[in-house]
Amino acid sequence: MKNITLSIDDELYERSRVLAAQRKSSVSGLVRAYLQSLSDAEQRREQARREIRAMIGHFGGKVGRMPSREERNARG
């Protein structure tokens, strides 16, 4: 595990300590969880991009014909 140094203002640090205590964690634990969630979200976005590219490639870039104006505006 790597150690990092982070500079934040005193008020933010105090609020973070209170929040960490409420969650039975530490400020380091909060930062670690936040960075992990950012990383996980980015990995999910990348996976979604790969899946979309694969689908587009599977259909040759054409998913279907564009509906006519009448079809798009049909009520029924």
Over the chain (76 residues), what is each successive 10-residue block's mean pLDDT? 94 98 97 96 95 78 75 80
Count other C-beta atoms under 10 Å from residue 25's C-beta.
14
CA dist 26 and 17 (Å) reads: 7
CA dist 64 and 41 (Å) reads: 30
* The predicted structure's pLDDT at residue 23: 97
Please choose, from the candidates 35, 38, 43, the residue with its C-alpha nearest in 3D space to the C-alpha of residue 4: 35
* The predicted structure's pLDDT at residue 63: 64
Give yes or no for a contact between 26 and 20, defined as CB atoms under 8 angstroms apart.
yes
| Token pair 């969880």 in the structure block, residue | 33
